[in-house]
Structure 1
Amino acid sequence: MSRHRLLLAFLSVQLLTASAVADSTLTQRTATGGDQRLASPGGVFQLGLFSLANSTRWFLGIWLAASPGAVVWVANRDRPLHASSSGIVALSGRGDLVLLDAASGNETIWSSSSSLAAVVAQLRDDGNLMLADAAGVTVWQSFDHPTNTFLSGSRAGQDLRTGAVWSASSWRSADDPSPGDFRYVMDTRGSPELHVWWNGRKRYRTGPWNGLRFSGCPDMTTFEDLVEFRFTHTADEVSFVYRDRVGSPVSRLVLNESGAMQRMVWDGALWRVFWSGPRDQCDIYGACGPFGVCNAVGAVMCGCIRGFLPSSPAEWRMRNASGGCARSTALQCGGGDGFYTLRGVKLPETHGSSVDAGASLAECGRRCSSNCSCTAYAASDIRGGGTGCIQWFGELMDTRFVDDGQDLFIRLAMSDLHLETTKTSKLVVIIAVVITSFALLLLSLGLMIWRKIWLRSKQVTKFDDIVRGECPTYHLETLRAATDGFCTKNEIGRGGFGIVYKGQMENGQEVAVKKLSAGNSVQGLKEFKNEVDLIAKLQHRNLVRLLGCCIHCS
């Protein structure tokens, strides 16, 4: 029997005689398996063998201790064990972490295949399983080999020095952790962005990082109080990492078996979904084709960018916009083109774009204008009003409107820009005419009302001056009593604006009382005041003397 076989046999016997492992570490002198668990120092995560729908397939995995169903990492996705009792987890003599099947002669089911020999394996409270050498240097970690889940501190992206890729693949189904049809991977060409692939075809993309968030994920900022984000783009590495803030609950980013990315937060009893993508039909890659723009809240989902028309009107009428749009006017270059600003969008796919983070947005525009192949440009970082430069040199694919979206500057023929300017000018003129007309109407109406009020107030003021200066006043009730309530039997005459009644005052004096008619409140009031003014000033033995007047509004 070889030395390798002797070592495996020793490990198997050791497992059968050892007590349950309660520590967070494994060394070359210890092993675990069966129903034993490796627990992180704070008891947050556990490592061990588990099964899902039935007990015929067993996998080595890591899960949240408070939620055993939340398996965050699986070692032997493609090679399950058929009995938990036969599984052995140990450090081999080469320094690799291995899963052995005792029922098959200690066959290696899975190995970490570390590049350097490890002497200790430890499960940490962040859910990372780490292998370290004798100097304490990490030689392998589960965070570098995610399955369908990213935890706080784990990376999505690529090591540009070694070519190592940190990506996720979905489970085959809810009860089968073998690799499914969906992959979540960073596209490092152009301005890096995260993509979900389905059987080799792009299904969803986040849009490029804009300094605060991914361009197509505006709701990332809605849970910044729980999670902080870090995007790294250097000559050595392109990666996206999130970290749970101190005091915040555990969260995880999961690529589920349906191809959806979900941000899930543990509230102590349930997993709450804080974000999910794709969100709607506009998030499905290329829904509106090249130079199309998707609007999830519109009656018609797909439209063409300004200066473009449907490539196939017949297909668009049948709500098939995958063929996209084509220019309505060919570009002229050499000063014959300009740029139209499409506002509030998720930037198009950047796969074939060029990026210069050090350029200003103004310089970006000048560069694009001087290059006849440049079809559009935008700021690569939206902080501080927009800096950096992304230039597109071909089709603009997978553009959509989003809340708090970015500005995209699209190259158009000058005639298309002038057409837009003319339409805008006409609209501005129409709006201005309508507003001006309405304002003049209101002004005229206000002047009429003011003049009417002023004339009335002038007449009342004049009459009041007469009354206060030259004519005593009587209460209405006094005159009503003198005329028996303005009884018709006491009527002795009529004029154009009033009726005269015979009356007798309390002291026995006979009087004539003229009352203004209700139907003559405007012209009659003027004549009535003139008559009072005239009679008050004239004194003659053949004229009736004015004793006084009464002002009463009813």
Structure 2
Amino acid sequence: MRSVPNYHHPYTINFILVFILFPAFGVSANTISLATESLTISSNKPFSRWYLGIWYKKISTRTYVWVANRDNPLSHPNGSLKISDNNLVIFDHSSNTPVWSTNLTVGTVRSPVVAELLDNGNFVLGDSNSNEYLWQSFDFPTDTLLPEMKLGWDKKTGLDRVLRSWKTPEDPSSGDFSAKLETRGFPEYYVFNKKTIIYRSGPWIGNRFSCIPEMKPNDLSLVYTFVASDEEVTYSYQMTKPDVYSILSVSSVGTIQRRNWIEATQTWKQLWHQPRDTCDNYKQCGSYGYGDSNTIPSCNCIRGFERGNEQEWALRDDSAGCVRKTRLSCDGRDGFVQLKKMKLPDTAATVVDRGIGLKECEAKCLQDCNCTAYANTDIRDGGSGCVIWKGDLLDIRSYANGGQDLYVKLAAADLDVKITSHGRIIGSSIGVTIFLLISIIIFRYWKRKQKTAITIQTPTVDQVRSQDLLINEVVLTSERYKSRENKTEDLELPLMEFKSLGMATNRFSDANMLGQGGFGIVYKGILPDGKEIAVKRLSKMSLQGTDEFKNEVTLIARLQHINLVRLLGCCIDKGEKMLIYEYLENLSLDSHLFDKIRRSNLNWQKRFDITNGIARGLLYLHQDSRFRIIHRDLKASNVLLDKNMTPKISDFGMARIFGRHETEANTGKVVGTYGYMAPEYAMDGIFSMKSDVFSFGVLLLEIITGKRSKGFYNSNRDLNLLSLVWRYWKEGKGIEIVDPIIIYSSSSELRTHEILRCIQIGLLCVQERAEDRPVMSTVMVMLGSETTTIPQPKRPGFCVGRSLLETESLSSTQRDDELSVNQITLSVIHAR
């Protein structure tokens, strides 16, 4: 058996035959030797799924990094792990049949075969006198890449090592998502949803993958290794510090993420994850389009290209891509435009020559009529190597920090510049531009002087008209740039015709109505190309005026997140104001949660996934988006569900933008829905991130209990939802308030601890004092870790009382808050 290398491994891992969904129950060992030795486990407890798994021994949070029989679990704990016929085998004792094996076909082995779990987490099987392993777990990863483990292809073994996600966070069976290193062309790895690519890392450019700027080369705790040769194409990493633990994994929702263990907080900290926004989605912007999360819309055409299908772009179907304005001449007159800090295009069909530099690469691309772009293969030490693209350029985006320079071939007519070597460009029109600007300034100065002059020389009508148009254009351009500096630029949002929307919705027929709220009616529409949309037609009597309409349009158009509803366009026609959204098949959360029939489909796992999705969306609004946004009307009817039941927060008409250093604001116009309002907002008009956290807490308790929050009542009236949950919690009967659908579900009976944790989290979010409530980043940590200590909640903010007269007075202006899809309830009161 090959000896362990002579360097210190910073971690030790044990393995155990265990039912992963429950606390460890079994025996463990580091070495199994001889054909007759085995690990056996038995119990009379009626557990349903048992696995052979590996996890960190020195980390308090049980973190599984490898599972042997992930797709063929034992149905009971009566099993054993043996070395049989020179193979590792898991046997089911009840039937005496194997459920998993290393499946080796080896010849006679003279020395005893030994299985050992090495300090680096590699579970190996080999001849005790040989330096070669017969089998190793590192060649068959599950969802996690450990230090020294390789991702990719090995010619000698014929193995192509792929990471595959768990089916759910509690089910280790093979999920839909996988990460695979593509060995063709300029190697990079892809993340797949089944067989569909959803994300691409970009190629290895010497010290990191092109599209992961977070892979910092100066990180002293991590050393990355990438090998691209005839023998192997692999990626791996090593840890250089003994007290640092780091893993790369594919999650059950399709993200690839790196996490480090933080000893001080006893939690895993996510260093980065991909994809992060819609610009990371594969082919999001189509051919010759590139994504930029700082522009509206986020997809743009490369210089020298234009939108291929204006109608599809108008509907925010950015995958339509771009086309050349002018065909390439291929006679030496073509040139290149330099794009900085770019995610290089898909490299599957590229030509790589690592022996030449950028100058030779440019010349090679000019000589090849099929060449569309070129770049360096290695960005270190000023750049080296050459990669050439042939055909369409796909899946490009720009970065504020990261990426590299890309040189795209353009026809001379689209360059309008002098071309120099290495693709550098000098604008030939700079002098003309300066002359025009000086002329305009002189003209504007002259025009002002003319207003005070005694004798006025009147120019011709044509002169005035042409000069004013030129001045207006310059002024508008100036104001546009000025407003961009102030981050309040005019919105470039696709406008749709009223007539087209009327045809799509069958003249806004009742048969197409999806729901009705305080601000109008939502209709389902079908465009001529078959695309389904949701049209929110605002009521002419709606309290949402032009300002609120512009506010919602401006905000949603800037937001890009999987858990936020996507705005496709808008319509303003005379007195009509309409918003066009992506159509979400499963309507709103309240249409499921409070419906006697549909609620039966919401088992605990679905409710927990929906909760996490809402939390991620709210965290994005508060912390990760370009602006800090307070929603102010988060509730069940403002959470929409797509065909996969992925939640998306909608209705931003009441939202407010905060500065990065602002913590709270005050308003004299309180808007939102009673039952979800934080006390300080309802009573004093003070709102902050913590008021959104309060609304999230109410929503979480609704999801758990299946009961509506009824709003604020006097203490001598019936208890509302918050006081009801609080009473049961204080009496130690929290599980009794849970929706019976959850309790009687066989798949969730054994997750009582998780449900009770969520009740506790909900009560923490609805505490009366804003300063006592957690922020959403802390909520995400509490939802994602079973070992994180959660403080005990204080009394919730249900103690706001109103007189009968006040309640009745308010009801005359308050909209019904129990309507269905896409509603916004607007209650206008004066802050005290």
Q: 1:419 to 1:21 in 2, by over 3 A?
A: closer
**1:96 equivalent in alignment to 2:94:** no
RMSD across aligned positions (CA): 2.6
TM-score after normalising by structure 2: 0.46
Hey, what does 2:117 align to over in structure 1?
A: 123
1:295 CA drift (Å):
0.2
Deviation at 1:386, TM superposition (A): 1.1
In 2, the alpha carbon distance for the partners of 1:242 and 1:149 equals 13
CA drift at 1:68 = 5.6
Name structure 2 gaps, 5 residues minimum.
Answer: 1-25, 420-424, 442-832
Q: 8 Å contact 2:372–2:391 — kept in the other structure?
A: yes
Pairwise mapping of residues 392-541 of structure 1 onto structure 2 (< 5 A)?
Answer: 392-402=389-399, 403-418=401-416, 424-427=427-430, 430=433
- 1:333-412 to 2 correspondence within 5 Å? 333-402=330-399, 403-412=401-410
The answer to whether the 8 Å contact 2:416/2:427 transfers is no
The 1:423–1:319 alpha-carbon spacing in structure 2 relative to 1, beyond 3 Å, is farther
Is residue 211–residue 402 contact of structure 2 (8 Å, CA) maintained in 1?
no
Looking at structure 1, the residues matched to 33 and 439 of structure 2 have their Cα atoms a distance apart, in angstroms, of: 83
Secondary structure at the aligned position of 1:99 is classed as strand
Secondary structure of the residue aligned to 1:367 is helix
Q: Is the 8 A contact 2:79 2:92 kept in 1?
A: yes
Amino acid at match of 1:415: A
TM-score scaled to structure 1, two decimals? Answer: 0.68
* Structure possessing the higher radius of gyration over alpha carbons: 1
Aligned counterpart, 1:72 = 65
Contact kept in structure 2, 1:346 and 1:406, CA below 8 Å: yes
8 Å CA contact 1:27–1:121 kept in 2: the answer is no
The aligned counterpart of 1:112 is 102
Tell me the distance in 1 between the aligned counterparts of 2:439 and 2:40. 84
Indicate yes or no: 2:322 matched with 1:325: yes
Identity %: 39
* AA partner of residue 103 (structure 1): S
Alignment equivalent of 1:286, drawn from 262, 266, 283: 283
8 Å contact 1:57–1:80 — kept in the other structure? yes
2:467 aligned residue: none
Structure 1: where are the runs of 5+ without partners?
1-18, 37-50, 439-554
Q: Equivalent residue of 1:282, what SS?
A: helix
Q: Residue 254 of structure 1: CA displacement?
A: 1.0
CA offsets 1:140-185 (integer angstroms, 9 cap, x no match): 1101000001000101110134431011111111111111111100
The structural deviation recorded for 1:21 is: 5.2
Which of 48, 60, 65 is matched with 1:56 structurally?
A: 48
**C-alpha separation in 1, matches of 2:299 and 2:28:** 59
Q: How does 1:178-193 map to 2 (within 5 A)?
A: 178-193=173-188
1:397 Cα shift? 0.3
Task: State the 4+ residue runs in structure 1 displaced beyond 6 angstroms.
Answer: 419-423, 432-438
Quote the Cα distance in structure 2 between the aligned partners of 1:194 and 1:59: 29
Quote the offset at 1:224 in angstroms. Answer: 1.7
- Mapped partners of 1:412, 1:81: distance in 2: 61
Matched, 1:160 2:155: yes
Q: Does 1:236 align with 2:231?
A: yes
Task: Name 1:169's counterpart in structure 2.
Answer: 164
Q: Are the equivalent residues in 1 in contact too, given 2:81–2:90 (CA < 8 A)?
A: yes
1:230 aligns to what SS in structure 2?
Answer: strand
Cα–Cα, structure 1 residues 245 and 437, in superposed 2: closer, same or farther, change >3 Å? farther
Amino acid at match of 1:208: P
Question: Contact between 2:375 and 2:387, CA under 8 Å: does it hold in 1?
Answer: yes
Deviation at 1:55, TM superposition (A): 2.5
Correspondence list, 1:206-217, <5 A:
206-217=201-212
Are 1:28 and 2:18 counterparts?
A: no
Q: Which residue of 1 aligns with 2:200?
A: 205
- Quote the residue 1:134 is aligned against: 128
119 and 210 in structure 1: CA distance in 2 versus 1, 3 angstrom threshold: same
Q: Does 1:275 align with 2:272?
A: yes
Which letter does structure 2 place at the counterpart of 1:125?
D
1:173-212 Cα deviation digits (max 9, x unpaired): 1111111111100111110001001121100010000001
Corresponding residue of 2:79: 87
Please tell me whether the aligned partners of residues 115 and 139 of structure 1 are also in contact (alpha carbons under 8 angstroms). no
Give the secondary-structure state (helix, strand or coil) at the position aligned to 1:288. Answer: coil
Q: Residues 309 and 328 of structure 1 are in contact (CA less than 8 Å); yes or no, is this contact kept in structure 2?
A: yes
CA shift at 1:124, angstroms?
A: 1.2
Q: Is the 8 A contact 2:285 2:395 kept in 1?
A: yes
2:293 is the counterpart of 1:296: yes
Separation in 2, partners of 1:120, 1:431: 80
CA distance in 2, matches of 1:337, 1:232: 36
- Kept in 2, the 8 Å contact 1:59–1:76? The answer is yes
SS in 1 for 2:318: coil
Alpha-carbon shift at residue 22 of structure 1 (Å): 4.5
SS in 1 for 2:71: coil
Q: Deviations over 1:459-486 (max 9, x none)?
A: xxxxxxxxxxxxxxxxxxxxxxxxxxxx
The range that moved more, 315-324 or 230-239, is 315-324
- TM-superposition CA deviations, 1:82-131 (whole Å, max 9, x none): 111x1100111x21011000011x20100011343570011112111011
Q: In 1, distance between residues paired with 2:416 and 2:37?
A: 78
Report SS of the residue matched to 2:363: helix
Equivalent-residue separation in structure 1 for 2:64 and 2:230 (angstroms): 34
Q: Name the CA distance, whole Å, in 2 between partners of 1:22 and 1:371.
A: 61
Equivalent-residue separation in structure 2 for 1:335 and 1:412 (angstroms) = 11
CA distance in 2, matches of 1:91, 1:133: 12
Equivalent-residue separation in structure 2 for 1:385 and 1:101 (angstroms): 60
- Aligned letter for 1:339? F
Deviations 1:516-548 (Å, cap 9, x if unpaired)? xxxxxxxxxxxxxxxxxxxxxxxxxxxxxxxxx
Going from structure 1 to structure 2, the CA distance change for 1:61 and 1:22 (only over 3 Å counts) comes to closer
**1:265 Cα deviation from its structure 2 partner:** 1.0
Contact 1:152 1:252 in 2 (8 A): yes
Give the number of equivalent residue pairs.
401
- Residue aligned with 1:207, SS: strand
What is the DSSP-based 3-state SS (H/G/I as helix, E as strand, rest coil) of the residue aligned with 2:359? Answer: helix
